[in-house]
Amino acid sequence: MNKTQDPEDVEDLKMSTEMSDATSMDSVETTSSEKNFKDQYSSFSLRKVKREGSVLGYRKLTDITRERKVIINFDEKVQSFGFRIQYSKPAIVTEIDAGGAAEKKGLLVGDVVLGVNGTDVKNAPHATVVKLVRDGPSELHLLVGTNMCNSPNQDLFKPIKTGYMHKLGGQGMLKNWKKRWFVLKHDGCLYYYKTQEDVDPLGAVVLTNYTLVRARDAGKSHSFKITKYKARTYYFYTENESEMSSWAKAITEAAQKKTNADVWLDISTHNVGLPAYSIKNPDCRGVLTKQGNAHKNWKKRYCVLKDACLYYYKDVKQPQALGIAHFHGYTIQEKELAGKKYGFVLVPPISDLRTYFFIADNETERKRWVASLASSIGRWIQTNEEDDFSQAEVTKDHEMLI
């Protein structure tokens, strides 16, 4: 277990699928699949904090501009609900059957799946989402969110790059090349359309953590592929070397953009050096009694909660925080502590992270803090992928038609 000293006490700081032999046929016809539609922080300054030894990453659900319910009836004729989700967390709709059940009910490519038949799936593994859909009733109730970057009212809607490329599509041995219009957006997704004139995409690739290399096994000049561990490999080729280089540069940059985890670490590093009242729009603030980690002694601290990070000060007048605790993924338990009945515990998502103990001044204050912590923590979802693959229910196909 890794531990890092802070000024007050000890605070826990804390690819590829093989391509089947492809034909050389080029076409713009819709494929069957379309129809069925790191360690960058190796060292930190005294005030820079990270969960060392933890593979858990978290992303804030700030890119969801609106939520809506979609009810889809199972199509007995084609034996599906008519949409496909790509492996990601939360699950993202990447393909819709043209004229299928999902399209008729208004489900869109790029929609984020937040709930399935009343079950919250924001933090659920891909395989769990698929199982909930397949094992549920024939009337599927989805709660979905629209990504900010897919909203025409946002500047981020503007594409990074557009143009035609050829993409290898199909299933099994029936793979062939299709000419598609591609749109790379600021949401880190590569959308592809049948033609430039089409409004609705045939599908999308979530580029996070993909790696781009030349596709020497594709049998095409100016070809490249993008790969990710235990995820689908995508093959492309362009008309010339210049186009290939341009696309390769844009896709690589989109796939390697600073992660949300990096962003909140940067922000918390900045905030820890501020006075308590200089942290804008906190989720909660006030006095709590906090247990130290090494000596287990109890001390009153002025605390400020912001984005699941708790900054604690000796008192409200101090120019900077004594330290910070990151509570992303933590759960809260109310219990008596040190003979005091207004205590609560922050329990970590994995055993090698620290457990935190607090006591409020009274029941009203405890309820205020517990509610604020639950809300602040609940806005973050776990994004690490390798844990999901260790589960028994993980399927072989990480882009599932449902």
- Average pLDDT in the 375-379 region? 83
CA distance 69 to 105: 10
- Among 383, 87, 112, CA closest to 260: 383
Contacts of 306 (CB under 8 A, 6+ apart): 271, 279, 281, 282, 283, 376
Partners of 69 in beta bridges: 143
Widest CA span in the chain: 76
CB atoms closer than 10 angstroms to residue 324: 21
Structure tokens at 47: 């005030």
Query: Among 68-72, 124-128, 289-293, 363-367, where is mean pLDDT lowest?
Result: 124-128
CATH number belonging to domain 158-259:
2.30.29.30
- What are the sequence ranges of the domains in the chain? 4-10+262-382, 158-259
* Cβ(130)–Cβ(90) below 8 Å: no
* Tens of pLDDT, residues 92-125: 887 888 889 998 998 887 788 889 999 988 878 8
Choice between 222 and 88, residue whose per-residue pLDDT is larger: 222
Q: Which CATH number fits domain 4-10+262-382: 3.40.50.970, 3.40.50.2300, 3.40.50.300, 2.30.29.30?
A: 2.30.29.30
* Tens of pLDDT, residues 229-260: 778 899 999 999 999 999 999 999 888 765 44
- The reported pLDDT for the residue numbered 126 is 81
Structure tokens at 257: 């953009």
- The reported pLDDT for the residue numbered 213 is 93
For the chain, give the number of residues. Answer: 402
- The reported pLDDT for the residue numbered 328 is 85
Per CATH, 4-10+262-382 and 158-259 having the same topology is answered: yes
* Cβ(185)–Cβ(250) below 8 Å: no
* Tens of pLDDT, residues 59-90: 555 555 567 899 999 999 888 899 888 766 67
Residue 268, SS3 per DSSP: helix
State the pTM of this model: 0.46
CA distance 50 to 63: 23
Percent of the chain with pLDDT over 90: 37
- The structure tokens 């806005």 sit at 379
CA distance 31 to 122: 30
